[in-house]
Structure 1
């Protein structure tokens, strides 16, 4: 009897089990949630001065959406919203909210709406954004920028209260000035107390809301400088220069007169400085420089062009025997179109330091000379940094320094080539990037991008093996291998055969578009 009762119970439970599990998917597809899900991936995009585009992924079961906008808020949603938008349909996604205030913090939140049952509306989901600042500053013309001040303007009578000026390099705020009623009415302010040759950002505010921003760079220090215009005889001024004189050149072309109607040679016998006044309008000097009697020369923000020269001689030619020259300092310049080379020292003299920094140097043919060419003298320190050299020395050597150690009483020439882009230079299999034979030389070759040359490093036993660091080479087959009676060393630490994919070499644009190269920080920084 007990056995029969047990069998009956088991059979009954089995039938109940089969009945309840007949179609388990029926339960899953007929679930009804307590409320509509909140929209996901709620984002603020395309933010302007007075609008924002709000994007989200639609919620299943939502009929419409409601958006609330809170001003001067960071996701606290306190107080009353400045805008409430209802009945937004799926077809209106993304939704553009207009009539916002410039340079203002906003919070937006969205709710998915069930039209039949408000209790099923979703929870709020929020996002934070800030509208763009305005730009009511007028462009700053060259004539409004001096060495220690700037004049800026905006439409007269606009609602503004103050300006700030920040050093673009350090981020330090150097000016915080409340505007006067007269300045506001005129839409103009003169800002004094700036530093020459410094990059700044000036901003205009209405209380704490930004209404304008402009960047500018003050011009060179004009204190004690002789300002020169293109209509003056620049060659005569150089001839009459006094020791330590600074020439400040306005934009335009200055031709050093030659003997036969072309561009000639400026003889520099005193320590002088030549600077372009405006970094956005570099003056062009047509001619070349001959340095005599130990004179130093500094150039800054100049284009030196040898295209119209009567002679193919080098851009910088040292002539006085037995002299000690202090410096040749060339900063932020473009040098182009010279026949024999860039610099030539063929007398038993010493130059303490030669520097080319942040320069573009191109179309230096080197027919009858090498690019850097020291034959009988000694250059104690040579610095080529943050510069681009291209279309030059196509069949001559790049750095040449002959062994004048015996006649010059020894010495240790130091050569620093750092952060340079060097393309197509010394492009012949028998030519050298480093034809350096002065005994005791020290060479540092760092962060350079070298491309498209058949040159070797050196086949001279007197060339010291450089200190190599973080260089990249592309299409430079003869630099990579050590060859008997050929290339005597190579760069074992380098990255080889990676194409930088320059933007437009035909037009002098060496912007690196290959991120594998640009991320390494090699070459002239202007292209990275």
Structure 2
């Protein structure tokens, strides 16, 4: 009897349990959770001024992916500027896995604004069912865009050039002023001028000249499309910010102008497109710092036909800026230093220099202490065809640095540098050397090893008039490397190799547009990997 009662009790419990389970299976589903899963990975792989490469993992059953781009905020999405739909069947997997949720895709988004913060959110959609995933999101900043191609300063103006096919509406510029506060680091403030709204003609030409600037002064300029910055550039106007600035006329006696100038700093301001006949260019002992400064007009520098520079005393600094200096051949050297007259520092910047029989600079003085010899952004041709080489540093009491940067040299004789004194630092970078009309036997003569020497980013090219070239007068390979330099196939090394240089399989005329006539733009079909990286930057593809 007891066993039978227990049986009925157990049967009742089981019956109740079955009924309870059936009722649970009939519960409804919350439609707010009836959706696709989110992508499990969403990140930025690369940012550029006007593009970004985004990576994400796929979503099962997704037929398209929706990207919303919001500009100028951080994941707030208050300013969505565009939405892009990408169909799943148009995607190519970057990293294909067995499951969709582990498969990685890369998508490149173009036509972004430079120097801008973007928030991006991504959702997956199944168009067959209408189901969507939740959003995944990220934030990134595009890098600075640079559409300026050249910025050429004058003494009281600057010529701005930019890519005319890039939309631009305004130029902003201002003077950079350092504020000194005792006990604190100097701060740089900007005194902004009235912005210049570009005319349609200026936009189409991609060119603007800003006038009424101060000589020897630091400025910054921005180019914008409405509120979006598309480029920036810092520059310094030519000449000195102090002393006397003299505008030189074509018929003026330059030596008389210098002799009559007040003692101290003097800036001689020349006009582009004009030719000045000088002969011997004599610098009086009253001049402390001299700036020979050219104002480029419509791409043309002032031309200075002259014999040589003559120094009456020891001056501090001698600068030649944006001048087309042509030797008349009456002196073997453009600058020759002996005794106690000369300068502490010399610089040639942005110049064309040509037709000097022997050297641009020759020193033969045991009394002079020279700080820096600097050549930058110059085009030099037909120098040293009678020997001695571009720089002939035969004798000095001391020499700190020699630098040749961003410079193109065409047809240079003997060597580019004959260095017979101890030097702290020698730099030869981002340049092009090319000989066709003369056979240079050696690139360098270094009688005393510099404390530091760097040669990199230089392209050595041309057939050297059929001759082979040594890297040096002796074997300098223990301390001198040409890593980062290139030799074209027609440039033949002699016994003393250009250690660590990369040898190209193409010749000078296959690499450059017209090297024999001084056009070293890279041919597009050459597909040179060093474009934008090595050689003189003036020839890079913009």
Q: 2:483 aligned with 1:454, yes or no? A: no
Please report the TM-score for the alignment, with normalisation by the length of structure 2.
Answer: 0.56
**Equivalent position SS for 1:266:** strand
Aligned to 1:246: 266
Distance 1:323 1:360 in 2: 28
Q: Which of 117, 122, 143 matches 1:109? A: 122
**Equivalent position SS for 1:495:** coil
1:329 offset after TM fit, Å?
0.4
Aligned to 2:25: none
1:477 offset after TM fit, Å?
2.6
Kindly report the root-mean-square deviation, in angstroms, between the aligned alpha carbons of the 2 structures.
6.2
Distance 1:374 1:97 in 2: 52
Q: Which of 174, 177, 184 matches 2:189? A: 174
Q: Which of 491, 495, 499 matches 2:500? A: 495
Aligned to 1:74: 74
Contact kept, 8 Å, 1:51 with 1:97, in 2: the verdict is yes
Distance 1:134 1:372 in 2: 38
Residues 380 and 140 of structure 1: CA distance in aligned 2, closer, same or farther (over 3 Å): closer
1:446 offset after TM fit, Å?
2.0
Q: 2:311 aligned with 1:276, yes or no? A: no
Q: 2:361 aligned with 1:358, yes or no? A: no
Aligned to 2:399: 381
Q: 2:140 aligned with 1:121, yes or no? A: no
Contact kept, 8 Å, 1:66 with 1:84, in 2: the verdict is no
Q: 2:347 aligned with 1:330, yes or no? A: yes
Aligned to 1:371: 389
Contact kept, 8 Å, 1:142 with 1:278, in 2: the verdict is yes
1:72 offset after TM fit, Å?
5.7
Distance 2:360 2:174 in 1: 45
Residues 236 and 253 of structure 1: CA distance in aligned 2, closer, same or farther (over 3 Å): farther
Aligned to 1:480: 496
Q: How many residues align?
A: 431
Contact kept, 8 Å, 1:44 with 1:52, in 2: the verdict is yes
Residues 141 and 75 of structure 1: CA distance in aligned 2, closer, same or farther (over 3 Å): same
Aligned to 2:479: 468
Aligned ranges for residues 410-425 of structure 1 at < 5 Å? 413-414=422-423, 416-420=425-429, 421=431, 423-424=433-434
Distance 2:108 2:384 in 1: 64
Distance 2:376 2:42 in 1: 46
Contact kept, 8 Å, 2:308 with 2:335, in 1: the verdict is yes
Residues 399 and 175 of structure 1: CA distance in aligned 2, closer, same or farther (over 3 Å): closer
Distance 1:430 1:249 in 2: 39
Aligned to 2:167: none
Residues 375 and 85 of structure 1: CA distance in aligned 2, closer, same or farther (over 3 Å): closer
1:112 offset after TM fit, Å?
0.8
Structure 1: stretches of 5+ with no match in the other structure: 1-32, 151-159, 258-262, 403-411, 482-490
Distance 2:330 2:154 in 1: 37
Please report the TM-score for the alignment, with normalisation by the length of structure 1.
Answer: 0.57
1:434 offset after TM fit, Å?
0.9
Distance 1:375 1:143 in 2: 31
1:276 offset after TM fit, Å?
2.2
Structure 2: stretches of 5+ with no match in the other structure: 1-32, 92-106, 161-169, 179-184, 199-209, 462-467
Greater strand proportion:
2
Q: 2:409 aligned with 1:390, yes or no? A: yes
Residues 500 and 249 of structure 1: CA distance in aligned 2, closer, same or farther (over 3 Å): farther
